[in-house]
């Protein structure tokens, strides 16, 4: 009866793949959204609204040592915020919010 868990896992994986395919936006839409996001970030950098990513990464590494695994730039009511996820040496994931203009650490979760 050891085949049943493997069959169940296979069926669940298939179901997940189908759901992702059905729910995901078309590839062209994702590409346009990504291009638009990149244009907004570049314009913000050129206008001095945000600091370069290299400066943000230095700031985060000084406060939370580890491997940076994800970075997002979001426009919030208070201004631009970098959300940086770090995998620490003890295997914990930390989220660091950084003011994209001043480089002040807003929050560490």
Dist CA 69 CA 7 (whole Å): 33
pTM of the model: 0.68
| Cα separation values, 33 from 6, 28, 30, 37, 46, Å | 38, 9, 5, 6, 20
Tell me the percentage of the chain whose pLDDT exceeds 70: 78
Provide the residue count of the chain.
109
51-109 topology per CATH: Nuclear Transport Factor 2; Chain: A, (3.10.450)
What 3-state class would DSSP assign to 48?
A: coil
Domain ranges of the chain: 1-47, 51-109
Comparing CA positions, the residue from 107, 94, 103 lying closest to residue 57 is 103
What 3-state class would DSSP assign to 7?
A: helix
- Does 37 or 96 have the greater pLDDT score? 96
pLDDT at 109 over 70: yes
Question: What pLDDT digit, counting tens, does each position of 31-80 carry?
Answer: 676 778 889 888 999 999 999 999 999 999 999 999 999 999 999 998 99
């Amino acid at each position: 009866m050891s085949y049943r868990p493997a069959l169940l896992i296979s069926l669940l994986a298939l179901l997940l793949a189908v759901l992702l395919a059905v729910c995901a936006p078309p590839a062209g839409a994702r590409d346009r959204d990504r291009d638009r996001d990149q244009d907004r970030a570049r314009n913000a950098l050129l206008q001095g609204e945000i600091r370069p990513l290299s400066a943000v990464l230095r700031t985060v590494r000084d406060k939370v040592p580890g491997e940076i695994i994800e970075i997002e730039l979001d426009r919030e009511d208070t201004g631009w915020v970098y959300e940086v996820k770090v995998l620490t040496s003890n295997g914990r994931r930390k989220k660091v919010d950084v003011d994209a203009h001043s480089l002040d650490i807003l929050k560490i979760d």
